[in-house]
Each structure stands twice: as structure tokens, then as C-alpha cells.
Amino acid sequence: MIQNQSHKLRVGILGTRGIPNNYGGFERWAEQLSAGLVRRNCQVTVYNSHFHPYQSKTYKGVSIIKKWDPKGFGLVSQFIYDLLCVLNARKQKFDVIIQLGYTTSSVWAWLLPKKVKIIYNMDGMEWQREKYKGLLKTYLKKAEKWAVKYSDVIIADSEPIKHYLDNKYNIHSEFVAYPAQVFNNPDEKILDKFNLKRENYYLLIARFQPDNNLELIIKGVLKSNTSKQLVVVGDYHNRYGRYLRKKYGDKRVVFLGKLYNKLELDNLRYYSAIYFHGHSAGGTNPSLLEAMATNCLVCAHDNEFNYSVLENNAYYFKNELQIIAVLNDFSGKESKKGWIKNNLDKLHQHYKLEDIIDKYYKLF
């Protein structure tokens, strides 16, 4: 671990709903990164939405600033929240500001303090997401361009994203993946809470949005010959979630809702027969790395982002027929233990938490 006692770098982390994680992948990474930077003698501040349930002003040595986030108005809420965070950041004496994502924040990038180094973690190519169409898709392409224009360093979380950014904008972006911590303490008794049995269910963890291919996966499972249940974890309290729950109220599909207890999530992953990863837009998704870290046998949407991580150590699908074929021919998790071992080896080599945080620290 790199440490520097001579000067406390002052780091601001913007672009998430806040820490500790109560929302998704970026929040999980903000929680890990901020605490890791504190261990490296940095003075770190993370911005939280005002409705975040965590009430303390510090978390593991990280300062927390809450700003108003008018939840319930979609992208409009994000624009307002991002603006308030940026305006507050102008008053702080940060050395470095890390923006996690650019969808709404890059609109305000010109307002960021000029003497501060700005790092954008670009996540994925947001304009590719199925839910964005027409003028909104055009806007997102511009937002991507603004993020590149107003940053000192661009971080790509996958090799395909780096290749795309470098070629499109004639820049040198930095490839820094997300970390994953290998899970070594399974407890089968935790399954009792969910009325599940070891390897007698498939698992899908995702936000309820079309480009995560939840409906495609559900259709494939229901049309296959399997008797196993599909357990779906995610906050279904949106239009797409309500649609799926109403249409697929089958006893073989279990909608657990949102779940943030990492021990429970890790055990659900560990004991699943197959973990479905339907993400089709974006770079390296943290939930995929977490699945690999918990001995999951993965069946992933067939795209360059997922393949760059899993390579030949997973099943792949692009349509429900391919899912049906995988499940009808499935002979058990043990038959693919070589894939699982290869994925774990890859995590040990390239995705260690402290190594990834060191890469960020070196950028500063």
C-alpha cells in the first residue's frame, strides 16, 4: 500500500447517492475508494443525497456532505443534485475531484473549480442504453464530450471503453478496473431466510431497466425445462419493475426486491446454480466482479464488455433461445469448476482492492 505522510491530499468524490452503499455499484465503489484513500492519509469528502439513511457526518474517516436531491423526478433530480454538489465543491479546498459518471454532472463541469484536478470515471457509454432515445440520446453524446473536455484525467473501467474513448477523442484515458474481494466464508444457513436450497435456484441481481435484459432472462428461464426458481434481486418500484412483476407472477420467478446486506448477497451468489448477468451497456460492472468473487457460474449477455472480463469462462446469450439451450443442457455447477477457478485466478491477478486504490492514488 502506498502511503504519504508529508501532505494530506484533499479529495472530493461526487456523482453518487452516497455512502455507505444503499443504491448500486458506483456507491459501493465510492464507499471502498473513499475509505481506502483515508488509509493512505488523504482527507476525503463524499457527497450524499439528503435522503440517505446514514445520519452521521463521517464514515470510516470519510467526511460526508449531504445535499438536497429531489427524488422522484428522474434525470431532473440528478441535474439539481449534481449542481448543488458542484457548487458546494467550489467552496471546499480540494486538490482532486473525482466525478463518478457523467450523465448529468458534465453539464455543470464548467463550474468546477479551475485550480483543482478533475478526474472523470466514465462508467459506460450511456447513450447506448435502450431506455434513452431521441433527443435524450443526443444529449448524452454531448455530455460524454463535455466530460472529456473539462477533465484532467479520464478513467475507463474496461479495455473496450478505453479503446473507444482514446480513438473517438484522441486522448489517453487511464484503464482502472473496479476491485473485487474474494468471498471465502459461506454460510448455507443464510439461505433459510429466503426459503432457498443450495444450487436449486438461478440468480439475477440488477437494476430494473431494459438494457439489463431482465425480461429476456425471465422468458428464457420460464420457457426452459428447468424446475429451478429464478431469484431476482433489485428495487422493482419503478414502471419497468411493476410491469415485470405483474406479467411474470410465476412461482418459478421470485422477486426479492432490493437487498444491500453484503453477507446475504454473497451467500445468495455463492450457492446459486447459475448467475445471470444481463448488463449490455457500459464497461466493467461491479456486480459481475462480485459474482466472480463468490464462486458463481456465470451466464452473461454476449457483448464486448462482459467478454473482456470473463473471456471463455462463462456461458453467453443474446436471445432467450440461447438461455433455454444452456438450461436444458445444464449438468450442474461442478461440471464447470474450471471456469470458476479461472475467474477467481483473474480476480487475484488484476482486481485486488488495494492495488486498484493504489492506482487511483498514483493518478493524484
> How many structural domains comprise the chain?
2
**Domain residues for 55?**
10-176
pLDDT in tens, 97-112: 999 999 899 999 999 9
Q: Is residue 361 part of a domain?
A: no
Residue bearing cell 410465476: 250
- State the amino acid at position 101 in one-letter form: G
Does one domain contain both 216 and 338?
yes
Does one domain contain both 137 and 109?
yes
Cα 339 from Cα 275, distance rounded (Å): 13
Does one domain contain both 132 and 163?
yes
Residues of the chain above pLDDT 70, percent: 97
Q: Is residue 363 part of a domain?
A: no
pTM above 0.95, yes or no: no
pLDDT in tens, 195-216: 999 999 999 999 999 989 999 9
Does one domain contain both 215 and 119?
no
| CATH number of residue 51's parent domain | 3.40.50.2000
Mean pLDDT of 310-333: 97
Q: Is residue 21 part of a domain?
A: yes
Domain boundary residue among 127, 153, 176? 176
Cα 284 from Cα 347, distance rounded (Å): 13
Q: Is residue 83 part of a domain?
A: yes
Does one domain contain both 160 and 196?
no
Specify the range with the lowest mean pLDDT, choosing from 20-29, 243-252, 350-359. Answer: 20-29
Does one domain contain both 166 and 294?
no
Residue 283, pLDDT score? 77
pLDDT-derived band at 130, boundaries 50, 70, 90: low
Q: Is residue 357 part of a domain?
A: no
pLDDT in tens, 14-66: 999 999 998 888 899 999 999 999 999 999 999 999 999 999 999 999 999 99
Mean pLDDT of 72-79: 85
